[in-house]
Structure 1
Amino acid sequence: MSRAIFRFCIQEIDPCSQTVKLACGENVDMGHSDGAEAPAADPGGQQLRWAIGSTLQVPLFRLTLLLILAAALVSATLALRLAQPAIGAGLLTIDAARGTIYTGREGPAPLLALLPAMGAEAAPLPVTPALVIEDPDMLGSYAARRQLFAAQDRLMALAEDALARGLPLRGLIALPDGQNALVDLPVTARMPARALPAGFWVQLGCGAVILAVAACFVALRAGQSTGRPTPEGLGGFVLAGLGAAVSAFTAGLYSSRGLVMDGGTMQLASALNHIFTLLFGVGMTALFARYPRPLLGRRWVVAGAGLVALQVLAYRLELLPHDLVSPQISVALLFVAIIALVVAQHRATRGHPADRAALRWLGLSILLGSGVFVALVALPVALQHDSILSQGMAFLPICAIYLGTALAFARYRLFDLDRWALRIMFHLGVVALLIAVDILVLVTLSLSGPASMASAVALVGLAYLPLRDLVFDRLFARHRPDLASIHAGAVTVAFQIDPAAKAEAWQLLLTRLFAPLHVTPADHPVPAARIADEGLALLVPAQGGAPALRLGHADGGGRLFAAADVALAAQVTQLVQAAEQDRAAYEAALHRERRRIARDLHDDVGANLLSALHAKAEQPRQDFLLEALADLRQIASGLAGRPVTLEAQIAEMRAESRNRAEARGHSLHWPLGSADDCTQLISYQTRRNLTAIHREALSNALGHGAPGEIRVTADCEGMMLHYRMENPLAAAQAGAGPDRGAGCGNMQSRAQAMGGQLHSAADPARGIWVVTLAMPLTARPEGTP
């Protein structure tokens, strides 16, 4: 078995140690019993009794024994059903609306009467709707029940006589042309399994499933091995299962009889069905009287069961009027009692979310199981109408009660079941409301069918749909903070520097999202968000400097934590981690920028100031000071974050170069180019490297070139800048290779840092030194090769 959710279920079976952990805390060994010691001597058979008692205390043995008993009961039901004779197997169909239909060669045609075999002297037996009714207790009087059983005895006598003669019975059918005809209806001593209707197999299967689930609860229940009291509600749940299963088996016997069944067997099956059907109701009332919270004392439960037993006796002995003690009336009253206890339990479980979740799931099962049976089978019969649903198929929703419990037992989506229960119960209520509105319109306004439908449609459009949206928004919508609020909280956590402040901000964010009653550090590492203690707690992993946390009782104890809460906690965790990564990237970029500015201050401004300090001539000193001032302006502009366009940078470089060249006795020719019309913004890094390359090239031209005109061009093609400087070639530079010349290595490294290419070489044929630069206007990411 899997893990249980209800307190009367086991919690875990350990296949390695072969022990069962029970909800009340004790362990039961799967191979031997607890708390029992074999006596040393057994002169009077005491040792045998001890061995049997010890064996019965082993949970798996008890489970195996109960399942064998359940299988035996299923087999006995099937064997008893097959042992009944059959009339016209495969030739007759029982239809609730048209009666018994002959489907042989002359059919389909209604079967009017049964006649004895050829040569027998017996009166014909009319085939009335009462003869083929699904359940004898659906008849409206005691007399009608007695007549049915007497008719079954007559049918049984006819069938036995036909079997003794080896002849078929004869059936009187009504042909479509208005004439009557006789047809042969073969009689078999046993019902062929292939001729059994689907309803019988449905009831047999439902009973088997219910017995299997109830057997698991009985065999593996808490407190079995230590003598502790049985958990509250378990007895009622198991009694209800036994009642539902036996009532399904007995109903399957006579509801699938076709035409004939032994009258005594049918009376016994009907009585057992009555008793065990009410036992199901008594068990359910006992369950909700004690589970999840004890509401009524056991004496009150026993007293209620006694009243039901008196009602059964009064009905079976015909002591009170039929309409007062009919089984359908008893079923309806028990169902009302169950609903009242569920409502009372809902109030009693206020402040206990785990109990309330289990109650909602069981309540949903009751509404889908017992409610369908009562509304579609028992209630119409109590109002002297035909049942809406076949009794055999009505056991399917009752079986769903125990299948639903098994699902919850396996903890399948346990923490979302309470919300599913609310949604399904709301839809059931809406269906009932629509039916009530339609009936009200019909009764009060005496409208025809189409007019009633039109009125119902108008009411749905004008009242139901707006009300439905309002109720869904109020009850079922998850009231979470909006995404902006969650993002703001995550960023607040990520941008806390102090670990204590980060832990406090993280706890405040979780408190705002889930509103837990208490938040405590987790007592063990939490790799990922998950639910603990059956939804009472949510474990959240550690976050940066914040420890792993345990959130207890969501929404102030008003609900359990659900799978959606786990998903939300995981998303918020990922959001905080992403924000921390963004913060780390921002801080890394900030540190890189600071280091770059410090390097510029040291390498450029510092070098120029030092050169000015050691310059012997006034003109070089002035040049160094002007360059230092220009560098300071660029660095200050970069710190202020003021954007600079390429055209502004080219204009600044042109003005600075002209002053330097004229001070050295050179002329500068720098015509306007396409770069002077480029409004592309350039980064601080691009600006500094371009300025440094141009200054170095101009310094080489002024210091090492021959007197003459210096020519500079700057053009922009797309996102690439093409720069070129030409200056007269001095005699000492005439034989220089392309890699020679002052500062060429520094210019090369700066160009490569920007993803550009720089070439510096002499052109002896023209007598000039040429520097060309091609570089992108967008800054290259740092660290890119």
Structure 2
Amino acid sequence: MPQDGSDPRDASLNNTWPGRGSPTWTGFPVSADSELEPGQGHPAAEPAEPLIQWRGWRLQAFFLCALVGLSGLAILAHELGSRLHVDASWRADGRGRIELASSADPLLQPHVGKALVGVADGATTVGITSLQGLQRSPRWLVKDSDRARHLVLHEQLAYLFAGDEVRLHFDDGAKVTVQTTPRGITGLPVMFWLLAAFGLGVALVGASALLSTPSGRNLAYAVMALSQGGNLVFMAIEATLELGLPMPFARLDMPVRMALDLVTAAAMVNAVCLTPRRLPGAIWIAAGGWVFAAGMAGLFSAGMLPSAWWWTQVGVVALGLFATGLLGWSYRIEPHPFAIVLQRFSFAAIATWTLLTVAVATADQSAASAHNVADVASLVWYAFFGSVLLLAPFLVKSQDRLREFSLMAAITTVAISLDVLLAGALSLEPFASLTVSLLLSLTIYVLARRWILSQPMGSSVLTTERMFEQLYRIAREVEARPERTATLLAQLLGELFEPLEIDVIDRRYRKSRVTGDGSGMVVPVPLLGGDEVASGSVMIRFAQSGRHLFSSEDARLTDRIVEQLRRAVHFDKAVEQGRREERLRLAQDLHDDIGARLLTMMYKSQSPEMEDYVRHTLQDLKTLTRGLAASNHRLSHAAAEWKTDLTHRLTAAHVELKWNFTFDDDILLTVVHWSALTRVLRELVSNAIAHSQATHLDIDFRLEGDRIELTVSDDGVGRNPRAWSHGLGLGGVRKRVKQLGGAVEWREVAPHGISCRVIIRELSARW
């Protein structure tokens, strides 16, 4: 490692960081705060194995969690199944009353469709004057007074239904005494089992994430999953409601579910302090979120929080907005594309939560629809939020699907919230409210999807034509210099994805893979050219200047590019082999046929001038055949041959040659390069000899980096090159220079003469 602070790696790998001061070259891991899959910064001979083997204490702990969850679910089902109830189902009528919907009891069947006005057990009678008996969750009652009445009513009903029989009073004056019986586990509704299993699954997924890789962000995810699992279990209990919640759930529902929502929001703040990178002061920021949530829950438990529902809703929004602000700060520190996605999804979730809040608050003004709005809208919200938490670990490698699923989940919640809001607030007919809500939701979906996914998904900055040129150029250069495979592949990926960070690591993978959070991708360096062992992999991070998340489609694209590069190299080798064989055949024919005839002519020449001319022609033929037979020419050797050849020709024409040749790298010229440069030099010298009447000829040849500059100047009588008609000679010069990707220009020089300047800016771009 150099001690002067310089970077020993190929400077051509540096990618400019848009908006930053200098190129970014990194060796991974970048910092302890940046997320990177373990092991990717260290050498390894084989592909990475799964990070966690589910065995030992992890497997035991997971089975213990599952056993505790299943046992708790079984105990809960047993308690609910043993609760006494009346075999009847109830519903709200159009006038805000509870009416009998159906019953298998012969005593109640004649009263189906009648409104219930009271419940008694002989000494105690409870009047039913509102729909609060059907209100499943006090958590979604807006007013404190309604919540207090709800609690009293459900405790009274629970007391009455605990007896052996109960008397039901209907609005037509009928009084029916019916027996209460335990429903049994098999009598629990299907919705209970679905929601309970769903909640248990969400909680177990959170536990598995924490056990697989114990870390702060996985702990925050596990807390969110456990909280949402608890919400779903409470909703499963509420699904068993007929008349009155089972004790003690009526009293626990509001404080526990309020705490679960606040804990979820605080855990989200904690998570964004650590994901996608650890923020400065993360511990104190996370602690602030937890203190805020605990303080609100404590104030409610102490009875010191009036308008508790509003405080809970606003508190969740405040913590959510705080989390989005932290994500914006995180992106400014390190432009991680996942921060953009998380921030935009957070905004969408907050907007959906706010819409749900408005829908419930608006519907609270209508007693007939309040309980339906609260039940349906909250059920959809928790179900889809739980679905996102449940599927997130499994869809992390296919993030496009996760984003689409999350969007559809949020939009479905929006559609239902809009439906109940329009039906409750504007008193629209069901069909009209459903139609309007669907249209609005589809509009929101189109706009939100474009906003959330447009930048993170990104697009390739390389056109197809440019990609083909790059692949062809790399294939030719790799064939000549196999050791530059990794460098050239990194350059190609840099142009394709515009990453902020790019590096060649020693670890070897079988195929391209996306890192866990989508911020980076590892592309294996293929075996090309003469390599016996591939030189590791190329790691790229933060594509599109930190605005693009890598996906499985990007990994497949890079695999296809690498495969096309491999095919291009093999094809080019086959083509070059055919060219080499054809050049050898042509060189052999020239040597055996034309060479023999020229040699005979030289020995039979009648004058010294003719003999000397044929001798020079033989020398030219020897140079030509030797050049055709060789596949590559060292620049210094080619220059020596050029100088020797031109010196002989100019000396015979009594023209003095001044030769200047400088280069910073003794590169290998292909036959194409050598042939074109040889013919250009010969034609320019021949033109000076034939037409300029010059006595001096200056040739200056310079190679700097990948740029060639050739200047041929004479002191002859040539004038006004713009007026020249370019025949085969000068036309051939233009054609061959253009073949090398260069340009040629003739101009007058003082005091007299012509200068021709040839510039080839990127010699290696044309192989």
1:111 aligns with 2:96: no
Q: Which residue of 1 aligns with 2:132?
A: 130
Distance 1:455 1:365 in 2: 22
TM-score by length of 2: 0.56
Distance 1:390 1:467 in 2: 21
Distance 1:341 1:191 in 2: 45
Q: Structure 2 counterpart of 1:412, which letter?
A: K
Q: Per-residue CA shift, 1:713-739, capped at 9, x if unaligned? A: xxxxxxxxxxxxxxxxxxxxxxxxxxx
Secondary structure in structure 2 of the residue aligned to 1:113:
strand
Q: Give the Å deviation of 1:154.
A: 3.9
Q: Which residue of 2 aligns with 1:62?
A: 61
Distance 2:247 2:437 in 1: 50
1:499 aligns with 2:481: yes
Change (3 A) 1:320 1:80: same
Q: Which residue of 2 aligns with 1:376?
A: 356
Q: Which runs of 5 or more structure 2 residues have no equivalent in the other structure?
A: 1-32, 40-48, 104-108, 602-627, 629-767
Change (3 A) 1:185 1:596: farther
Secondary structure in structure 2 of the residue aligned to 1:412:
coil
Q: Give the Å deviation of 1:258.
A: 0.9
Q: Give the Å deviation of 1:259.
A: 0.5
1:555 to 543, 557, 564: 543
1:190 aligns with 2:182: yes
Distance 2:300 2:447 in 1: 49
Q: Which residue of 1 aligns with 2:75?
A: 76
Distance 1:11 1:77 in 2: 41
Change (3 A) 1:499 1:380: same
Distance 1:252 1:459 in 2: 28
Q: Per-residue CA shift, 1:678-730, capped at 9, x if unaligned? A: xxxxxxxxxxxxxxxxxxxxxxxxxxxxxxxxxxxxxxxxxxxxxxxxxxxxx
Q: Per-residue CA shift, 1:458-509, capped at 9, x if unaligned? A: 9999x99899879976664413311111111112223346316964655543
Distance 2:142 2:168 in 1: 30
Q: Structure 1 counterpart of 2:312, which letter?
A: S
The structure, 1 or 2, with the larger RCO (C-alpha pairs under 8 Å, 6+ apart) is: 2
Q: Structure 2 counterpart of 1:357, which letter?
A: F
Q: Which residue of 2 aligns with 1:395?
A: 382
1:207 aligns with 2:195: no
Q: Which residue of 1 aligns with 2:562?
A: 573
1:288 to 269, 272, 282: 272
Q: Which residue of 1 aligns with 2:726?
A: none
1:333 to 315, 334, 338: 315
Q: Structure 2 counterpart of 1:400, which letter?
A: S
Q: Give the Å deviation of 1:453.
A: 9.5
Secondary structure in structure 1 of the residue aligned to 2:459:
coil
Distance 2:504 2:249 in 1: 67
CA RMSD of aligned residues (A): 5.5
Matches within 5 A, 1:300-449: 301-302=286-287, 305-316=290-301, 318-321=303-306, 325-350=307-332, 352=334, 357=338, 360=341, 364=345, 375-376=355-356, 380-381=360-361, 384-385=364-365, 386=370, 387=373, 389-407=376-394, 411-413=396-398, 416=400, 424=407
1:252–1:392 Cα contact (<8 Å) kept: no
Q: Give the Å deviation of 1:371.
A: 6.5
Distance 2:55 2:438 in 1: 61
Q: Give the Å deviation of 1:131.
A: 1.8
Q: Which residue of 2 aligns with 1:681?
A: none
Q: Give the Å deviation of 1:381.
A: 3.5
Q: Per-residue CA shift, 1:98-129, capped at 9, x if unaligned? A: 74442244475143324547xx4554633521
Change (3 A) 1:610 1:337: closer
Q: Which residue of 1 aligns with 2:703?
A: none
1:362–1:405 Cα contact (<8 Å) kept: no
Q: Give the Å deviation of 1:85.
A: 1.8
Distance 2:140 2:258 in 1: 11
Q: Structure 1 counterpart of 2:325, which letter?
A: V
Q: Structure 2 counterpart of 1:583, which letter?
A: D
2:69–2:200 Cα contact (<8 Å) kept: yes
Q: Give the Å deviation of 1:132.
A: 1.5
1:539 to 516, 519, 523: 523
Secondary structure in structure 1 of the residue aligned to 2:216:
coil
Q: Give the Å deviation of 1:147.
A: 3.0
- Segment drifting more, 76-85 vs 182-191: 182-191
Distance 1:276 1:470 in 2: 30
Identity %: 15
Change (3 A) 1:317 1:143: farther
Matches within 5 A, 1:687-702: none
Q: Which residue of 2 aligns with 1:523?
A: 506
Distance 1:245 1:435 in 2: 26
Q: Give the Å deviation of 1:253.
A: 2.9
Secondary structure in structure 1 of the residue aligned to 2:182:
coil
Distance 2:451 2:244 in 1: 56
Change (3 A) 1:545 1:499: farther
Distance 2:61 2:200 in 1: 17
1:199–1:393 Cα contact (<8 Å) kept: no
Q: Which residue of 2 aligns with 1:92?
A: 90
Distance 1:533 1:477 in 2: 19
Q: Which residue of 1 aligns with 2:233?
A: 249
Q: Which residue of 2 aligns with 1:666?
A: none
Distance 1:588 1:435 in 2: 70
Secondary structure in structure 2 of the residue aligned to 1:103:
strand
Q: Give the Å deviation of 1:186.
A: 4.1
Q: Per-residue CA shift, 1:141-193, capped at 9, x if unaligned? A: 444333333333443454345x15xxx634526xxxxxx47485744342343
1:583 to 549, 572, 577: 572
Q: Give the Å deviation of 1:403.
A: 0.8
Q: Which residue of 1 aligns with 2:655?
A: none
Secondary structure in structure 2 of the residue aligned to 1:109:
coil
Distance 1:280 1:11 in 2: 28
Secondary structure in structure 1 of the residue aligned to 2:170:
strand
Secondary structure in structure 2 of the residue aligned to 1:246:
helix
Q: Structure 2 counterpart of 1:398, which letter?
A: F
Q: Give the Å deviation of 1:28.
A: 11
Secondary structure in structure 1 of the residue aligned to 2:115:
strand
2:418–2:437 Cα contact (<8 Å) kept: no
Secondary structure in structure 2 of the residue aligned to 1:495:
helix
1:509 to 483, 489, 492: 492
Q: Structure 1 counterpart of 2:78, which letter?
A: A
1:478 aligns with 2:459: yes
Q: Which residue of 2 aligns with 1:622?
A: none
Change (3 A) 1:298 1:539: closer
Distance 2:252 2:37 in 1: 37
2:521–2:555 Cα contact (<8 Å) kept: no
Q: Which residue of 2 aligns with 1:617?
A: none
Distance 2:176 2:476 in 1: 93
2:192–2:237 Cα contact (<8 Å) kept: yes
Q: Give the Å deviation of 1:594.
A: 4.8
Distance 2:259 2:323 in 1: 22
Secondary structure in structure 2 of the residue aligned to 1:169:
strand
Secondary structure in structure 2 of the residue aligned to 1:552:
strand
Distance 1:303 1:588 in 2: 70
Matches within 5 A, 1:134-145: 134-145=136-147
